[in-house]
Amino acid sequence: MAIHPSAVIEEGAQIDPSATVGPFCLVGAQVVLAADVVLKSHVVITGHTVVGEGTVIFPFAVIGEIPQDLKFKGEGEASRLVIGKRNRIREHVTMNSGTEGGGGLTSVGDDGLFMAGCHIAHDAIVGNNVIVVNNAAVAGHCVIEDDVIIGGLSGIHQWVRVGRGAIIGAVTMVTNDVIPYGLVQAPRGHLDGLNLVGLKRRGVARGDITALRAAFQMLAQGEGTFHDRAERLGAETESAYVREIVDFVLADTGRHFLTPK
């Protein structure tokens, strides 16, 4: 275990012998650092926080502090943050623990990149392979599914769901749910198409991409409400990717969706 002499490790912290804690870090009494975790320097980790294997946290990040929520009343063990494996958490990133009203857990998956100054709020559930670019903010109770990219200086409103493989352009405010593989941009968040670049990079078959494009056109231009179009699409499609969009839209969450322009 490599712990710099200037680091403050509170009694009770569980630190794997292979972890590294750099200069002037603070590790709280209820923190768990798994194998090969690296805290570069000046990192604060507090609260009931678990940091998964191989995650690297860069200077001045504050991880596991209490929620920025006036309803928070010091829930203690009911407020947790769990971070997965091999994440890269860059400078000045903040990730808050959960609230009792939101289930008590903020969760971050594996293999994410959280660039400088971004924020993950209380009770957010963030999937695997997510990229949150500089100074973007994910508000409380959001669900960010796998393979999502959130552009710099963007904001995801509380309770919003962003489906798998979606991309949010820079300087975008997202106030409604985003379908899987959707492309959202513009200051007030318009659904402008599909994340075709991301689909191609992941090796999605041409036939599936064609099916997704046809599905998007039906959702954009078909008759009836957005919900009605999704139901018809579900009855007609044979594509697993399209079915994923349909299931996302038809899930009973009470949320509204960004719809195609």
Residue 195 to residues 148, 158, 164, 185, 227, Cα–Cα distance (Å)? 10, 23, 10, 11, 21
Residue whose token pair is 């508000």: 139
Q: What distance in Å separates the CA atoms of residue 58 and residue 66, rounded to the nearest whole number?
A: 20
Segment 94-110 mean pLDDT: 96
pTM, to two decimals: 0.94
Q: For residue 4, how far is the Cα from the chain centroid?
A: 31
Backbone phi, then psi, for 196, in 5-degree steps?
Answer: -65, -35
Q: Strand 149-150 relative to strand 131-132: parallel, antiparallel, unpaired?
A: parallel
Active site residue 227: no
pLDDT per position as a tens digit, 131-181: 999 999 999 999 999 999 999 999 999 999 999 999 999 999 999 999 999
* Marked catalytic residue, from 22, 28, 117, 123: 123
Q: Are 97 and 66 in contact (CB under 8 A)?
A: yes
pLDDT surpasses 90 at 130: yes
Match 């971004």 to its residue by tokens: 118
- The pLDDT tens digits of the residues spanning 187-216 come to 888 899 999 999 999 999 999 999 999 999
Mean pLDDT of the chain: 95
The single residue of 140, 155, 165, 169 carrying the catalytic annotation is 140
Q: What is the pLDDT of residue 76?
A: 78
Q: In sequence order, which residues have a C-beta less than 8 Å from that of residue 251 and are 6 or more positions away? A: none
- Annotated active-site residue in 122, 155, 163, 182: 122
21 pLDDT tier (thresholds 50, 70, 90): very high
Report the 3 state secondary structure along the chain: CEECCCCEECCCCEECCCCEECCCCEECCCCEECCCCEECCCCEECCEEEECCCCEECCCCEEEECCCCCCCCCCHHHCEEEECCCCEECCCCEEECCCHHHCCEEEECCCCEECCCCEECCCCEECCCCEECCCCEECCCCEECCCCEECCCCEECCCCEECCCCEECCCCEECCEECCCEEEECCCCEEEEECHHHHHHCCCCHHHHHHHHHHHHHHHHCCCCHHHHHHHHHHHCCCHHHHHHHHHHHCCCCCCECCEC
Q: Is 247 a catalytic residue?
A: no
Report whether pLDDT(261) > 70: no
Write the single-letter amino acid at 140. G
Catalytic annotation on 140? yes
